[in-house]
Amino acid sequence: MTIGFPNIAGLAILGIGIFLSVDLYISQKYLGNFFVHLVLLFLYFLYVLTVLFFFPTFVHYEMKSLSYLKQSFFITFIRPLHSLLISVIVMMIVVIVYAFPFLIVFFAGPMLAYPIMWIGNKVFKSLESMEGK
């Protein structure tokens, strides 16, 4: 039985997330080194932003296997303000859904997907216009 690309990308994203979460837990619980913990928090933040840009990249471009992860990672650095905007919007949506849990059933997916895809589309258009010049 072969594993399709979306499954491989999902497994890679899941594996990296589990690895960073375990590292963060070990750093917090056993190491007690503030600098290491701060670096791991920064890496975890980059991971979350990369995952948020992964889905628009996957929908917008047609690439080889794990190039989607690389591309979404680079977009996170190329457009830092858009990355911060996405993170702020996601945090606001999480707070709203936490305050009104009944919204999870009907609106949680679209409330997250629409702003992420909208910002991702703006980033892709700006990158393509820069590339065309």
pLDDT averaged per 10 residues in sequence order, the chain, 133 residues: 62 89 85 82 90 88 80 89 91 90 83 91 88 70
Q: Which of 79, 30, 92 is nearest to 53 (CA)?
A: 79
Predicted pLDDT of residue 1: 42
36 neighbors 104 (Cβ within 8 angstroms)? no
Q: Which of 112, 23, 22, 128 is nearest to 75 (CA)?
A: 128
Q: Which of 88, 85, 71 is nearest to 124 (CA)?
A: 71
CA pair distance 19, 16, nearest whole angstrom: 5
Predicted pLDDT of residue 86: 92
